[in-house]
Homo-oligomer: A and B are copies of this chain.
């Protein structure tokens, strides 16, 4: 029985080189629109396979239209094959409409591991999962189907849409694990990098759909098995746009992914 994530990102090569058939699967969405990290993972899988390298290293997507469930075509093309990295473009289309355009570098993180290390980012000291609050797919106004595929446990004081006054602190930390226990790899970390609700939901502003303009994820290490610890925060909401940064640590405390996105403010 294949894992859900692998089925949901499955691709079939077509007769056209670099072009793959796949589908946006139901269940990875928020109110019917597929999660941006899932869409990135689906497209990046085609880019990775076409690159001949095992790992996404840096992937940027610009989001052009929401992605409802249904068949898609993913095109991947090589820009440059270097010694350490292969630079790729990608594009996902549904019917006549382009949903996302991507640019990324692919390589072999295991082959580059070791060397000089220095980090000042520390994994959040989260309470154990049983003391955290699990993300639920059922909400008053929105159905977060994704929450049944990617399990998330929030730090108790940072649960979005909790009753009471808003904290006005745009931070959400928590645990994440794929629902069927599939261990994370560098591809599925792309899902995690956009898998949490927007931390701006804690701000004293109208909540609503936060359309991502651009998402960049840096993959920094091969994740160890087990749940990951995540921290998402927004530092600057200004002139109609907001920035959101994410950091993901594996069960060994290794920083495995860093993400940043620019999104449009929710329209109330």
Contact = CB atoms under 8 A, between A and B. Distances in A.
A218 B89 contact: no
A179 interface: no
Contacts of A89: 89, 101
Contacts of A102: 103
A211 B130 CA distance: 44
A149 interface: no
Contacts of A118: 168, 170, 200, 203, 205, 234, 236-238
Contacts of A112: 239-241
A98 to B, nearest CB: 7
Contact of A58 (B80, B205, B213, B235): B213
A120 to B, nearest CB: 5
A69 interface: no
A264 interface: yes
A200 to B, nearest CB: 8
B235 A119 contact: yes
Contacts of A262: 57-58, 105, 218
Given A80-B98, A118-B205, A239 B216 contact: no
A12 to B, nearest CB: 25
Interface in A219-268: 220-221, 234-241, 243, 255, 258, 260, 262, 264-265
Interface in A68-102: 79-80, 82, 84-85, 87, 89, 98, 101-102
Given A218-B262, A236-B258, A260-B260, 18 more contacts: A57-B213, A57-B241, A58-B62, A58-B262, A80-B98, A80-B101, A84-B264, A89-B101, A105-B262, A112-B239, A114-B239, A116-B237, A118-B234, A119-B237, A121-B236, A216-B216, A216-B260, A220-B238
